[in-house]
Amino acid sequence: MTPDEIQARVLHRDGLVLVLDKPAGLAVHGGSPNADDFERHFGALRFGLPHAPALAHRLDRDTSGCLVLGRHRKALAKLGRLFAEGRVEKVYWAVVADGPTAEEGRVDLALTKETRKGDWRMIADPAGQTAVTDWRALGRGGGLCWIECRPRTGRTHQIRAHLASLGCPILGDPLYGGEAGLPLHLHARSVALPLKAGKPPLVVTAPAPAHIKAALAACGWSGE
């Protein structure tokens, strides 16, 4: 990724934060010195500051959309508190096969990490970490359902595991029972950051990525 390419993915920039449109299929931070990751390109995002910005939270490798960075130490501390206190409103779009029978609901299902043969996933466990996701169906068509998810906690794979628990795993998510051979149809659509007391939150929206547009259109998405 060139400096121009990552700079073109900046959705918002101010003195505290950057919000980027993360591409699907690229890890946010490195797990191997030989593998590419989004974080190693952050040096192109200094925009006059002495240090590169840093991650305020994480997105899965195959999830696209809004990724928040802090531009300096004080910004990262502030963002860390907002995320830890559950004050950041995150909206995700997912496309699933068939879909739930209801039009909206809440999944309150504790999760824990299960490791088998060197692989892992999140499973339901009453003794696990509390995990809550509010959801509603935004459209249906062609045997698909377009779902908006608002996670109230920030557990790993939370939306993926919770939608699977409803019997409708996300397209392109075989780990949780979804159709294989497709890119993951999960997109971090928007984020709302209450950065200033007494002021409306900063709301940033990421455009739908190319790999889910056809499925969204089948469910009635107008392209906006």
Going by C-alpha positions, the residue among 8, 1, 5 that lies closest to residue 26 is 1
DSSP-derived secondary structure letter, 37 = -
Q: Is 60 considered catalytic here?
A: yes
Tell me which residue of 187, 184, 191, 130 sits closest to 162, measured CA to CA.
Answer: 130
The one catalytic residue among 60, 62, 98, 125 = 60
Between CA 57 and CA 64, with CA 59 as vertex, the angle to 5 degrees is 130
Distance separating alpha carbons of residues 114 and 128, to the nearest angstrom: 11
CB burial readout 172-183, b (16+ within 10 A) else e: bbebbebeeebb
Residues 6 or more apart whose CB falls under 8 angstroms from that of 3 comprise: 41, 44
Place of tokens 């502030």: 78
Residue with tokens 């918002």: 12
Distance of alpha carbon 53 from alpha carbon 2, whole angstroms = 17
187-191-197 Cα angle (round to 5): 175
> In the structure encoding, which two tokens stand for residue 186, read together?
């999960």
Please count the residues of the chain.
224
Q: Which residues belong to the active site?
A: 60
